[in-house]
Chain A
Amino acid sequence: MPDETAVKKLALEHCWRINDRDIAGLLELYAPSVQFEDPVGSGPRRGHAELRAHAAQAIAAGVREIPGTAVGTMDARQAALPVTGLLPYVPGSPLLAALGLSDAPADPAGKVLAVDYVMVIAVGDSGLIEQMRSYWGTSDVRVADRSSVLREDRHGR
């Protein structure tokens, strides 16, 4: 059975492996029967194949994840982690409309798409992630200066 620190580390590893573009390594963190929902409200998906496709899409878009401070639970089964995901900002990209950013600025110089979200994971006896839920809404997506996002500390650390 995993301990609290190990469960927190799993959530952080998710971010590091996304940043390393290591999809195979990412899947090693997850049980084959994993259920995930990203974002919450979009409907759950299940299994490695769907998770692989989801992660590959994010990595292909150039995502970089900046994790905050993970917190655990007394039963050492769950962890929650605030994260800021950064994506290259491409004016006119269909991604902008999909994210609800219809009035995004035209000048991409020094800009990134920043998505603030909270990832909640649940871990089984195997020590692998059996459930992952990612909380973010339209109001959590913004166009920001890359330098300011990297400086700011939204997690209060």
Chain B
Amino acid sequence: MVDESTRKELALEYCRRMNAGDLDGVLRLFGADIRYEDPVGSPPVVGHAALRTHLAAAIAARVSEAPGTPVAARDGCQVAIPVVATLDYLPLGATLAAAGLVTPPADPGAARLRFSLLSLISVGPDRLLHEIRVFWGRTDLSVVPAP
């Protein structure tokens, strides 16, 4: 059992470390058996090594995560947090455009991807994150101008 405030703080700390580009720091929040499903319905990323690759790509694209208010559950392990994440359109945007999920912008180098998402996180008794399920669909994804 992990108290509610600790779970919420871990969810917010994840966003802070992603925004700081602190890849090693982010990975320290996760258990070795981390299962990261992003988005829900896709094959999960499992384990630190695979997750490092996944998160490094987001950090390289200058991800910015704006968290909303986290909420807990009464089960002693879960926390949910809405987030608006933006990152550089390239390189991920090209893949999403090829899949028909976004319309390519006129100037991909001056565009960002914007995801409205909600993460459902499970925290273990060791106070590490062991599962994240990231809810977003094609209607939650847009292309916006870079600031």
Q: Interface of A with B (CB < 8 Å)?
A: 4-5, 8, 39-42, 68-69, 71-80, 82, 116-118, 120, 135-140, 154-156
Given contacts A5-B139, A40-B78, A75-B41, contact A116 B71 (CB under 8 A): yes
* B72 in complex: contacting residue of A69, A72, A82, A140, CB < 8 Å: A140
A sample of 19 cross-chain residue pairs with beta-carbon separation below 8 angstroms, ordered by A number, consists of A4-B138, A39-B74, A40-B73, A40-B74, A41-B74, A69-B82, A69-B116, A71-B135, A73-B40, A73-B41, A80-B120, A82-B71, A82-B82, A120-B120, A140-B4, A140-B72, A154-B69, A155-B69, A156-B82
Interface contact B71-A117, CB-CB below 8 Å: yes
CB distance from A133 to the nearest CB of B (A): 8
> What residues of chain A lie closer than 8 Å to B13, measured between beta carbons?
none
Interface contact A79-B138, CB-CB below 8 Å: no
Interface contact B71-A72, CB-CB below 8 Å: no
Interface contact A71-B78, CB-CB below 8 Å: no
Instruction: Tell me the interface secondary structure of chain B in the complex.
Output: mixed
Does B80 make an interface contact (CB < 8 A)?
yes
Which one of A39, A69, A80, A156 has the greatest number of beta carbons of chain B within 10 Å?
A: A80
CB distance from A82 to the nearest CB of B (A): 5
> What residues of chain B lie closer than 8 Å to A117, measured between beta carbons?
71
Given contacts A77-B41, A80-B120, A82-B118, contact A135 B137 (CB under 8 A): no
Interface contact A135-B39, CB-CB below 8 Å: no
CB distance from B86 to the nearest CB of A (A): 12
CB distance from B99 to the nearest CB of A (A): 10
> What residues of chain A lie closer than 8 Å to B117, measured between beta carbons?
71
Which one of B8, B66, B73, B136 has the greatest number of beta carbons of chain A within 10 Å?
A: B73
CB distance from A75 to the nearest CB of B (A): 4
Which one of B41, B66, B80 has the greatest number of beta carbons of chain A within 10 Å?
A: B80
Q: CA separation between A100 and B70, bound complex, in Å?
A: 18
Besides A39-B74, A137-B4, 14 other A-B contacts (C-beta < 8 A): A39-B73, A40-B75, A40-B78, A71-B82, A71-B116, A72-B139, A72-B140, A73-B40, A73-B135, A80-B120, A117-B71, A135-B71, A135-B72, A156-B82
